[in-house]
Structure 1
């Protein structure tokens, strides 16, 4: 009989506040306090947590929602919020896919897949209808959120896309009072500003799909950041060595560009205004303009955010006047008089357009952060008079800093910033190096450099946070009230969970304590160190005096009982469950097995080519499994010390290995788990020497692993800052099926890679190409369409012949149709083909249709003719028809058969579209009528009124005036 095994799946992931792979986004809270139009709290922060997006309440530090698509295991690389609808977020992933999320329901609205590599930047247009994405594959793709398709792909950059921004000259004209009517998203002339690692900045005409202007953005190699002013009149680019370049954008020229399309024009719309230099000389990674104030946040990869301020017109004039005055005084001393010249200079009107950029944009304050800055976002809370900055750092932290504005300060000294709120308790600042489970599997201890945390396994909430040294190992002592930690400095630290206090700190070893093991009898603990010794410590309860009183209190102490000296550094120790043996692995690649009572050598285990990093003894004390940096797992017998089997387990160093401590079933005694730096966890059968399952989920090296008492779940911790729980399910798995599934995954990966390499011949020279990407899912969808067409071609004449004969013979039995139609409720062939097409996601439909060969077009057009005649699903019918006409235009023109089919459906198609047009027109007119009635009733939201008043108070015109004059 074929043996089945229990399947393990990831059930929980926690410990991440903000991943360093993505930016963070800030948003106002959508829920207000009762009776108030102003939202409470400090807003919400949206951060990436590996493959998930987390929504945090910034003030309370609480996790509000978690967005995860079960079909995607890749890391989140960029998050972007729509300005038109604050509940819509676009999220880019490392595999090049994009998902549009609804924050209210935490569900995916649309999925796009058009890039070959990680998405690096996303931006919505003003209407929220179009989305532009840039990636490491150097392509820019424009997506239509209404049609759910990729419109086109722009190619011109030779490096990773680092910045995108839509320019809307018509909307800017409306703000300036030139034209109050804003055009529709479809008819509006939009432009796209892009920067890339190739040091170029480009302006693209979205309507004509070509680049109209290119400049070298940075003089020192690469352009890493783009920031555009809120009014779109200027922008700033940044690269290496702290260099910032300021550009003026000619919006008036872009407005007129629509009329000059097709004409040869030498007009430039982007003008360099000057160069600024940051204090830090590291690579600049982000530039963020404040929406309503004259401030710019600039950050690199170091622990600082530099704030710059745009001076008002009056300040610039005063600065120029002072400069001119000093110049005159200097000239007066040098020349001793040309009075006429001096008078003329004094009477000249100061024009701020002549000012250097350094006179207009000046450094304001440098905010020092707790970790290396990954991303910043301005916090805009209504009613607050201070600037607030949300900062996400690479050490798993989100902070909010408060900075006073220029006009609000009483003194002229540098402004003093404060860190007001922080989201930090939900994760470690550094990598977790050790995990330990309590005896009842309810609590999990995780230790890192500087921090020990106790977690509730069921709720994933952090119960305690304690400060410790650089922890390398940890364990719960019997009773689960005390945690013992071994540190890199050679200290043993004892922590009381109930009081959150450090009970004792013992300088136990002269070198790092790499391993720590509680004796199976629960009365002692053994530690192994880099000082070439294993020390044994017994637990003692001593009565200690309470300072200032004569009373005493019982306290746990560790007292050294024995010491075992070895020839090299000790990396791991392990007691056998029957307390008979002690295994010690050392730096010389060997494992020595001693008798636990007498410490006499019993066995020497040779075979590994690199040091053994961890080991585990089975619950029946018959097998020992060792894992090493040589990527091998070895299974040894503890009776004679013979190596049963050496298994090439992973592609990198294997860090942890563990048998199930107390298996419920006898068959699970020799099942063990291994975790490696290659990011995988594997389960093995120690009797058959076969891999059972490979668990994928972590995005970094796995440092620690803890096994539950009966093997119900496994906890692992990784360099990606996450702690993941892998739970046993009721689903059985079989070795043969698992190997077949792994082979299929490998083939699909190879297929996807080969499809990505197949670009059209003219794609290299073309500036704009179709935004298509073939994947395994689109190929499958195309095959389903082809299958439905083949079945339909057989069934259609059969049913038509039967219907014709039935008129003459009413009691004629129905024909023998394909079982597929009977299984689907005896539907017609044309309905089956339409249903097949409608089940394909809109974003994948075009790619699926490209799978069909040209020879299938007559069959498809046959069914389209039927759908048009019956007016079935007009939107989908037209979309399929027009896409196929566009794709195969030349062949269709040359085909008599297809031309005849098109002429046959032309009149019916016109009638169907005319009916749809009338219906939509009627609905639009009704909506306009309702809108007019609402305007007449003056139903205005309180939030809108408050926002308008705030805009007036903050004096947005100052910022606008200053930057427009720069342009």
Structure 2
């Protein structure tokens, strides 16, 4: 005999501003910030604080369609899919997918999803133009080339953590959890260089706008920089396959692992986001400033050597002559001469991802946006001497984990609790009706009639809320421990009545309560009828 059962599927998700497990980015115009919100992608107008457009792959919410990565086309050139190819070294089952395209779309957006699919969106119409399938698991990295003619993707099935195009899209650089950086020739579709040096998983890399430097970061305490060599710079005795040449290392200020590395559009700033609450901003000096700084460094070195020589150490005399004749005239620029720590941005909560705005601000050096793990978006203005917050989007959703949800008897209202707030929602539209300050709510329930609500807190207090006005009426010290559950007492027919309710607490007590309707000074109160003690 076949048993019938009810199947429940996600119907509606609301109150989400930015997902924790995905990265944000700007659209090419710099007017909107693209933030994944579960299986949707929202384009936020930061100045006005609302989502101007929402990209949704399906009418129903699904965990398999959760957005895990996003990329925006840097130009409005021809883009649409005609096919893809896979790059596979011996140690990987699959790697980055290259997607070619040839249909005109204005400001196209690509989103990678948890099921391994990639969707191409028309930003103007907010419609899905194509769906690409090739990865077996979640897409972890997406990047367009400068001409928007190629799209590269990496996934968890190949442990690719980040990727970037080089040489006008002729080469591709990938990093992964195997501690290696690989350079690919896209015409031959083979790996032409493997760069070692990192002692742990490489989590991110990026290239400046002029393609002079490549920077990579891992759990190591330093950032590694590489010169990017072109065909014109090749020397006879050097291999033509050596695209990346070691430039140097810079010690990071923070000991947490690197999460994201990004240059701004002009290449004058480098942001290093760690898996914590801080972002280190580095200033990229031009050739003149770098040469001047290198000369000062050598002069200081010469003065130290000469001071030791004056003390009586004659062995340093040859070193002084060497510094005077060779290096002081044409010093070799080190990575520390070109990259200088400018500012350190510290957020109130853990940072999930960062994105530079492509537009240059009227005041300051650049604009940097952050997504935080408390369901917020922040935008900061970076200047030479300070970092100031410009915008913050913290609408609707809770700032911490949701501990309980309760529907009213007529299903017209939904109540959710967290560590410091209770929110009343319209479940049909997803609109937040009220936000009420409260204690650490662990459980909740509507009072029959749906005019009032109960919240059991971690401190053992029982809070009475007025649903209509969105205010707290009374707080009763009900238990000595945290209240874990609130259950209405049913009547003889099994339906919820207005008799009272039962609370269970961590103090091993179960208490029965009855309702008392009062006119003044409060609208409703409760009387403890009976207490049962459990040992």
Find the aligned partners of 1:229 and 1:353 in 2 and give their Cα distance.
24
Residues 887-966 of structure 1 mapped to structure 2, 5 A cutoff: none
Find the aligned partners of 1:132 and 1:250 in 2 and give their Cα distance.
21
8 Å Cα contact 2:28/2:72 also seen in 1: no
Find the aligned partners of 1:351 and 1:193 in 2 and give their Cα distance.
36
Find the aligned partners of 1:98 and 1:281 in 2 and give their Cα distance.
34
Q: In the alignment, what sits opposite 2:400?
A: 430
Which residue of 352, 357, 360 maps to 1:379? 357
Which residue of 254, 258, 272 maps to 1:298? 272
Q: In the alignment, what sits opposite 1:661?
A: none
Is residue 83 of structure 1 aligned with residue 74 of structure 2?
Answer: yes
8 Å Cα contact 2:250/2:336 also seen in 1: yes
Q: In the alignment, what sits opposite 2:172?
A: 192
Find the aligned partners of 1:354 and 1:114 in 2 and give their Cα distance.
46
Report the CA distance between 1:381 and its aligned residue. 4.1
8 Å Cα contact 2:213/2:227 also seen in 1: yes
Structure 1 unaligned segments of length 5 or more: list them: 30-41, 139-159, 170-188, 407-414, 544-552, 569-967
Render the CA deviation track for 1:835-854: whole Å, top value 9, x for unaligned.
Answer: xxxxxxxxxxxxxxxxxxxx
Which residue of 197, 205, 226 maps to 2:205? 226
Report the CA distance between 1:474 and its aligned residue. 1.1
Is residue 216 of structure 1 aligned with residue 196 of structure 2?
Answer: yes
Q: Structure 2 vs 1, CA of residues 28 and 444 (structure 1 numbering), >3 Å: closer, same or farther?
A: farther
Residues 592-607 of structure 1 mapped to structure 2, 5 A cutoff: none
| 1:14 partner SS | coil
Q: In the alignment, what sits opposite 1:531?
A: 507
Find the aligned partners of 1:515 and 1:430 in 2 and give their Cα distance.
20
Q: In the alignment, what sits opposite 1:448?
A: 418
Find the aligned partners of 1:351 and 1:53 in 2 and give their Cα distance.
55
TM-score by length of 2: 0.82
Which residue of 316, 331, 335 maps to 2:309? 335
Which residue of 439, 457, 463 maps to 1:493? 463
| 1:285 partner SS | strand
Residues 538-687 of structure 1 mapped to structure 2, 5 A cutoff: 538-540=514-516, 554-556=521-523, 558-568=525-535
Find the aligned partners of 2:329 and 2:370 in 1 and give their Cα distance.
38
Find the aligned partners of 2:203 and 2:3 in 1 and give their Cα distance.
55
Is residue 392 of structure 1 aligned with residue 361 of structure 2?
Answer: no
Aligned-pair Cα RMSD in Å? 3.3
8 Å Cα contact 1:117/1:137 also seen in 2: yes
Find the aligned partners of 2:241 and 2:8 in 1 and give their Cα distance.
63
Find the aligned partners of 2:406 and 2:219 in 1 and give their Cα distance.
44
Render the CA deviation track for 1:814-866: whole Å, top value 9, x for unaligned.
Answer: xxxxxxxxxxxxxxxxxxxxxxxxxxxxxxxxxxxxxxxxxxxxxxxxxxxxx
8 Å Cα contact 2:460/2:478 also seen in 1: yes
Find the aligned partners of 1:299 and 1:51 in 2 and give their Cα distance.
25
Report the CA distance between 1:458 and its aligned residue. 2.8
Report the CA distance between 1:460 and its aligned residue. 1.1
Render the CA deviation track for 1:882-928: whole Å, top value 9, x for unaligned.
Answer: xxxxxxxxxxxxxxxxxxxxxxxxxxxxxxxxxxxxxxxxxxxxxxx
Report the CA distance between 1:236 and its aligned residue. 0.4
Find the aligned partners of 1:447 and 1:351 in 2 and give their Cα distance.
68
Find the aligned partners of 1:124 and 1:453 in 2 and give their Cα distance.
40
Which residue of 89, 104, 129 maps to 2:124? 104
| 2:23 partner SS | coil
Find the aligned partners of 1:237 and 1:485 in 2 and give their Cα distance.
49
Q: Structure 2 vs 1, CA of residues 353 and 425 (structure 1 numbering), >3 Å: closer, same or farther?
A: farther
Q: In the alignment, what sits opposite 1:162?
A: 161
Q: Structure 2 vs 1, CA of residues 346 and 3 (structure 1 numbering), >3 Å: closer, same or farther?
A: closer
8 Å Cα contact 1:26/1:390 also seen in 2: no
Q: In the alignment, what sits opposite 1:27?
A: 27
Q: Structure 2 vs 1, CA of residues 382 and 302 (structure 1 numbering), >3 Å: closer, same or farther?
A: closer
Q: Structure 2 vs 1, CA of residues 6 and 532 (structure 1 numbering), >3 Å: closer, same or farther?
A: closer
Residues 682-693 of structure 1 mapped to structure 2, 5 A cutoff: none
| 2:13 partner SS | strand
Find the aligned partners of 2:441 and 2:324 in 1 and give their Cα distance.
70
Residues 452-851 of structure 1 mapped to structure 2, 5 A cutoff: 452-519=422-489, 520-522=496-498, 524-540=500-516, 554-556=521-523, 558-568=525-535
Which residue of 196, 200, 206 maps to 2:186? 206
TM-score by length of 1: 0.47
Q: Structure 2 vs 1, CA of residues 522 and 425 (structure 1 numbering), >3 Å: closer, same or farther?
A: farther
Report the CA distance between 1:391 and its aligned residue. 0.7
Find the aligned partners of 1:292 and 1:393 in 2 and give their Cα distance.
25
Farther-moved stretch of structure 1 (321-330 vs 204-213): 321-330
Which residue of 305, 316, 332 maps to 1:354? 332
Is residue 274 of structure 1 aligned with residue 294 of structure 2?
Answer: no
Find the aligned partners of 2:220 and 2:167 in 1 and give their Cα distance.
32
Q: In the alignment, what sits opposite 1:572?
A: none
Structure 2 unaligned segments of length 5 or more: list them: 77-105, 490-495
Report the CA distance between 1:92 and its aligned residue. 1.2
Find the aligned partners of 1:396 and 1:481 in 2 and give their Cα distance.
29
Find the aligned partners of 2:141 and 2:197 in 1 and give their Cα distance.
18
Find the aligned partners of 2:429 and 2:149 in 1 and give their Cα distance.
39
Structure 1 or 2: more helix by fraction: 1
Q: In the alignment, what sits opposite 2:49?
A: 61
Report the CA distance between 1:530 and its aligned residue. 1.4
| 2:294 partner SS | helix
Q: Structure 2 vs 1, CA of residues 340 and 52 (structure 1 numbering), >3 Å: closer, same or farther?
A: closer
Find the aligned partners of 2:318 and 2:351 in 1 and give their Cα distance.
56
Find the aligned partners of 2:181 and 2:431 in 1 and give their Cα distance.
46
Q: Structure 2 vs 1, CA of residues 514 and 74 (structure 1 numbering), >3 Å: closer, same or farther?
A: same
Q: Structure 2 vs 1, CA of residues 455 and 28 (structure 1 numbering), >3 Å: closer, same or farther?
A: farther
Find the aligned partners of 1:270 and 1:7 in 2 and give their Cα distance.
54
Q: Structure 2 vs 1, CA of residues 421 and 537 (structure 1 numbering), >3 Å: closer, same or farther?
A: farther
Find the aligned partners of 2:456 and 2:534 in 1 and give their Cα distance.
21
Q: In the alignment, what sits opposite 2:150?
A: 130
8 Å Cα contact 2:513/2:530 also seen in 1: no
Find the aligned partners of 1:222 and 1:319 in 2 and give their Cα distance.
33
Q: Structure 2 vs 1, CA of residues 228 and 131 (structure 1 numbering), >3 Å: closer, same or farther?
A: same
Higher relative contact order (CA 8 A, sep 6+): 1
Find the aligned partners of 1:450 and 1:90 in 2 and give their Cα distance.
37
